[in-house]
Chains A and B, each alone.
Chain A
Amino acid sequence: MFATNLILVLVVLTNLKLLGSSRLGASIRVVAAQGVALGLLPVLAHRQDLTVHFALLAAGTIAIKGIVFPWFLFRAIREAEIAREIEPYVGYAASLVTGAAALGVSFWLCTRLPIPENIASPWLAPVSFFSIFAGLFLIVSRKRAVSQVLGFLVLENGIYTFGVGVVVRTPFLVEVGVLLDVFVAVFVMGIIIFHINREFDHIDVDRLSTLKD
């Protein structure tokens, strides 16, 4: 319970850090750290009935979210030659305030939802909702395509947190399938970032809307 709570607090803090940080490199590392922490979550949340299933899931999650994604995204920003976000739609202090408000909304939401009794920690459902909201907010409020990919990853992390904590027995195949989907999505997004950059010399997605033939 204590270790699970610690991981959940870590997830909240990493989300806030993402909302308040302008450096893409630091943001990628933070998302990687979040992925590793979440990889440990199924092992800690189901410590009493630990099976090979959970161990494999944890190993796979840590390998993909903690090593493959960061490597891939670092490669993307190196190819695109960018180091930091310039002027997002919503400023960093305003993003932090929105994040704190979103956390409040998540906690309120979870008092209205029928949450199963045997959940690993009372913070689990609110924190997963907060990750989903923070991810959505990152996707809509940032200009750089890399930041939006990070937002997508945070969103997925939120759903994963909810799945691990609330659903006690998800089939192994489903979990692996989700992980594979995310992997493919990030892979495709990385390639798209590279191509946008090669075609247009920048990856500011807001300028793509003014494209003309």
Chain B
Amino acid sequence: MNAASFIPLLLALALSPLLLGVINRTKALFAGRHGQPLLQTYFDLWKLLQKGAVYSRTTTWIFRAGPIIGLAVALTAAMLMPFGKLPAIIAFPMDFLLFAGLFGLMRFFTVTAALDTGSSFEGIGASREVFFSALAEPALLVALATLAQQTSTLSLSTMFGSISGARWLHSGPVLALVIITLMIVLLAENARIPVDDPNTHLELTMIHEVMVLDHSGPDFAFILYSAALKLWLFAALIVGMALPDTGNVWLNLLSAIGGILVVAVMVGVIESVMARLRLVIVPQLLVGAGALAVVAFLLGLA
């Protein structure tokens, strides 16, 4: 570990709310609106932190612990994620399993906090979230295993470090399949459009939003910030896999930041041109993503 390892974490902490702004501006552009300011998420976070929290009398400590544990988990995951070919603060063999597991933990506490409120709407959201993530997780793990197998290393930092132009030439189709899989997983895990609509205002159709309806003030700020961090980390996963090492530290960092913004714009474009899938179709999409990951893995083996 050296001082440069803190750069990925600091960038994630500082820039992750910007991604939501970029997505919203892209969608506004498609809709012909001016759209909210790019920094709107920062303003929202600041506003929410000023407020007090309201707690229902039916809730217990689980409800209060949910957002805090969620934020702690997102921060831990941010320490595992290398960026722009700089190694992460924590890097050890098989750390990608911890990375996937941390998001499982975050989801577990979001879901239990939602169930703790006793609201039937939140129960619906919790049930859907668990169902869909159970299908998305195998896709994520097989995709990461494919990358580990392709690069013959077991840590996220060394995996991303060994992506080069030569590797793209050698096993381009495999990497492309892995990236497509991860893009679908990103959309599913971050409650974006083909799976869930972040702008919906009907509780019956929500998945992620409905689970956090009862959180207010600083708690909601924590949830918003950990969601932004999660989006940043998944985007960083894709960018780390896609961009080859240029050999220059600054060029790597700049291209990685640019890449993350491109991922955000792509999410915005997908949200603008696609309708949300019916809930019964969503499992098919996620199973399809898993099948793509398996294809990539098998092609990589041969």
Q: How far is the CB of B150 from chain A (nearest CB, A)?
A: 14
| A97 touching B173 in the complex, CB below 8 Å, given contacts A104-B298, A107-B302, A122-B302 | no
Q: How far is the CB of A106 from chain B (nearest CB, A)?
A: 8
B31 within 8 A of A: no
Give A101's nearest chain B residue, CB to CB: B294
Whether the Cβ atoms of B295 and A12 lie closer than 8 Å is yes
- On chain A, which size bracket covers the interface? 20 to 34
Whether the Cβ atoms of A103 and B287 lie closer than 8 Å is no
The digit string for A89-132, where 1 denotes a CB below 8 A from any CB of B, is 00011001101100110010010000000000011001000000
A9 within 8 A of B: yes
Give A127's nearest chain B residue, CB to CB: B299
B284 within 8 A of A: yes
Whether the Cβ atoms of B287 and A93 lie closer than 8 Å is yes
Whether the Cβ atoms of B173 and A126 lie closer than 8 Å is no
Q: How far is the CB of B296 from chain A (nearest CB, A)?
A: 9
Whether the Cβ atoms of B287 and A97 lie closer than 8 Å is yes
Residues of A within 8 A of B291 (CB): 16, 20, 96-97, 99-100
Whether the Cβ atoms of A20 and B284 lie closer than 8 Å is yes
Whether the Cβ atoms of B287 and A16 lie closer than 8 Å is no
Whether the Cβ atoms of B284 and A126 lie closer than 8 Å is no
Whether the Cβ atoms of B292 and A16 lie closer than 8 Å is yes
Of the candidates A92, A96, A123, which one forms a contact with B299 in the assembled complex, judged by CB atoms under 8 Å apart?
A: A123
Give B293's nearest chain A residue, CB to CB: A100
The CA of A9 and the CA of B55, in the complex, are separated in Å by 53
Give B294's nearest chain A residue, CB to CB: A100
Q: How far is the CB of A148 from chain B (nearest CB, A)?
A: 21
The CA of A76 and the CA of B283, in the complex, are separated in Å by 31
Of the candidates B284, B292, B295, which one forms a contact with A92 in the assembled complex, judged by CB atoms under 8 Å apart?
A: B284
Q: How far is the CB of B299 from chain A (nearest CB, A)?
A: 6
A2 within 8 A of B: yes
Give A19's nearest chain B residue, CB to CB: B291
Q: How far is the CB of A94 from chain B (nearest CB, A)?
A: 9
Residues of B within 8 A of A100 (CB): 290-291, 294-295
Q: How far is the CB of A32 from chain B (nearest CB, A)?
A: 21
| A2 touching B298 in the complex, CB below 8 Å, given contacts A16-B291, A96-B288, A100-B290 | no
A141 within 8 A of B: no
| A93 touching B283 in the complex, CB below 8 Å, given contacts A107-B301, A107-B302 | yes
A5 within 8 A of B: yes
Q: How far is the CB of A19 from chain B (nearest CB, A)?
A: 8
The CA of A122 and the CA of B173, in the complex, are separated in Å by 14
Whether the Cβ atoms of B173 and A9 lie closer than 8 Å is yes
The CA of A13 and the CA of B299, in the complex, are separated in Å by 12
The CA of A13 and the CA of B173, in the complex, are separated in Å by 11
Within 8 A of A (CB), among B172-201: 172-173, 177
Whether the Cβ atoms of B292 and A103 lie closer than 8 Å is no
Within 8 A of A (CB), among B247-302: 283-284, 287-288, 290-292, 294-295, 298-299, 301-302
Within 8 A of B (CB), among A50-109: 92-93, 96-97, 99-100, 103-104, 107
Residues of B within 8 A of A16 (CB): 288, 291-292, 295
Whether the Cβ atoms of B302 and A126 lie closer than 8 Å is yes
Query: Chain B CB within 10 Å — which of A97, A100, A103, A126 has the most?
Result: A100
Residues of A within 8 A of B177 (CB): 9
Give B176's nearest chain A residue, CB to CB: A9
Whether the Cβ atoms of B295 and A93 lie closer than 8 Å is no
Residues of A within 8 A of B290 (CB): 96-97, 100
B14 within 8 A of A: no
Whether the Cβ atoms of B294 and A103 lie closer than 8 Å is yes
| A103 touching B295 in the complex, CB below 8 Å, given contacts A93-B287, A96-B287, A97-B287 | yes
A176 within 8 A of B: no
Of the candidates A6, A20, A92, A107, which one forms a contact with B173 in the assembled complex, judged by CB atoms under 8 Å apart?
A: A6
Residues of A within 8 A of B288 (CB): 16, 20, 96
Residues of B within 8 A of A122 (CB): 302
A-B contact pairs, 11 of them (CB 8 A): A6-B172, A9-B173, A9-B295, A12-B295, A16-B295, A92-B284, A96-B284, A96-B288, A97-B290, A123-B299, A126-B298
* Beyond known contacts A9-B173, A96-B291: 12 more, CB 8 A cutoff: A6-B173, A16-B288, A16-B295, A20-B287, A20-B291, A96-B284, A96-B290, A97-B287, A97-B290, A100-B294, A104-B298, A107-B302
Which residues of chain A have a CB within 8 Å of any CB of chain B?
2, 5-6, 9, 12-13, 16, 20, 92-93, 96-97, 99-100, 103-104, 107, 110, 122-123, 126
